[in-house]
Chains A and B, each alone.
Chain A
């Protein structure tokens, strides 16, 4: 599976989990469906961006740092809409980005090293 697909898959799954954890905040429970949908979309977007980055930059360290940053940035945007719970939204969002970054490098297939057809090899 290529790195973008891994990023989208892992980001999406962790996004769902991230949204579901809003259940532990009693005042957020009435809006849980909207939170889960929003969190999933956030995870999918973060996963695609991190996967793209991981395809270009194959370093695990840089991808972890970039994943954490993207996760935090998207979570900040979401928190900013509500105007509250910045830390409570950004910390798990960063964690999603970090783990998605790890998964893209660990699971994803990098760019092909095969010569293009007709390149004259052999």
Chain B
């Protein structure tokens, strides 16, 4: 009997997991990534002659299959430039559920920000994420698993929020989505980005402020360890243990970050007169610099000409 080495075993495992794409319009082109629910493959759509991402379960499972279908249905109702669009959904010849979506070429946010990126650019990326999440909230959908790994940044700076597998539909205005009951004590989310109510298993009572918490954690992570004090105050408020102490919605959080970017005062941070003066001077530093340059030049002229 021949023993298989680890590499051969992992290759065999991958071959077994590979989706059966016969009798479909898709041809396998590669693996984009793996997640908790299944694997995302890059496939060629032979009819439209384009590459798309195909998400499929690794093994048939009725419970997870329902979640995958639901994720596709949730995504289908969220048409927004910051949310990955779904193209197709169904079952493969091998019985596994799948859906296809836009193949986003770019970096995951955590990888993008592992390189040096200026704070202002990081915050602009954050605002685009917040905008997509606010849109979902307006459509009655909570993400519940916001973290840097679930955000893709495209080659042209476009931001796409992915992995809506844990999304919760608060209000199904169209009546199209089947209600999915989450066990009242189920813990869903990712430690470090998960709100206290999620880690406490209160999944039934979560609301928009749960995503506000996760966005606050992302803001804290994106801004880096030595972020300015007002920014720290914003993420602290967004990550308050009590929901009542957080920003009431994502738009309020985004407005605070925008105020910070514009050099304005933020409500989360009470500033002293000195710090306010310093902020205003920094905000108008070019204008101030021009006036000071004139005064300095004029003083020199006065000194040398006496007039």
Do residues A87 and B290 form an inter-chain contact, with CB atoms below 8 A?
no
Chain B residues within 8 Å of A10, by CB: 290
Q: Are B293 and A92 in contact (CB under 8 A)?
A: no
- CB-nearest residue of chain B to A88: B307
**Residues of chain A within 8 A of B297, CB atoms compared:** 92, 95
Hey, what's the 0/1 contact readout for A1-18 against B, CB within 8 Å counting as 1?
000000000100110011
Task: From A99, A106, A107, give the contact of B293 (CB < 8 A).
Answer: A99
The reply on B298 being an interface residue by CB < 8 A is yes
Question: Would A96 and B294 be within 8 Å (CB), given that A24-B302, A91-B301 are in contact?
Answer: yes
- A103 within 8 Å of B by Cβ? yes
Q: Report the nearest A residue to B293, measured CB to CB.
A: A99
Determine if B307 and A13 form an interchain contact, defined as CB atoms under 8 angstroms apart: no
Interface residues as binary, B278-307 with A (CB distance below 8 Å gives 1, 0 otherwise): 000000001100110111011001100101
A10 to B298, CA, bound (A): 16
Q: Which residues of B contact A96 (CB under 8 A)?
A: 294
With A25-B307, A103-B286, A107-B286 as known contacts, state yes or no: A92 contacts B295, CB within 8 Å: no
Q: Which residues of A from 33 to 59 have beta carbons under 8 Å from B?
A: none
Contact (Cβ within 8 A) A106 B286? yes
Does B294 contact A99, Cβ atoms closer than 8 Å? yes
Given A85-B307, A88-B307, A92-B297, residue A21 in contact with residue B302 (CB < 8 A): yes
Nearest chain-B residue to A22 (Cβ)? B307
User: Closest chain A residue to B290 by CB distance?
Assistant: A99
Name the residue of chain B whose CB is nearest to the CB of A85: B307
| Docked-complex contact A88 and B286, CB < 8 angstroms | no
Determine the residue in chain A with the shortest Cβ distance to B301: A91
Other 19 A-B pairs with CB < 8 A, given A17-B298, A99-B294:
A10-B290, A14-B290, A14-B294, A17-B291, A17-B294, A18-B294, A18-B298, A21-B298, A25-B307, A87-B305, A88-B301, A88-B305, A88-B307, A91-B301, A92-B301, A95-B297, A96-B294, A99-B290, A103-B286
Cβ contacts A to B, 11 pairs, < 8 Å? A18-B298, A21-B298, A21-B302, A25-B307, A85-B307, A95-B297, A95-B301, A99-B294, A102-B290, A103-B290, A107-B286
| B→A interface (CB under 8 Å) | 286-287, 290-291, 293-295, 297-298, 301-302, 305, 307
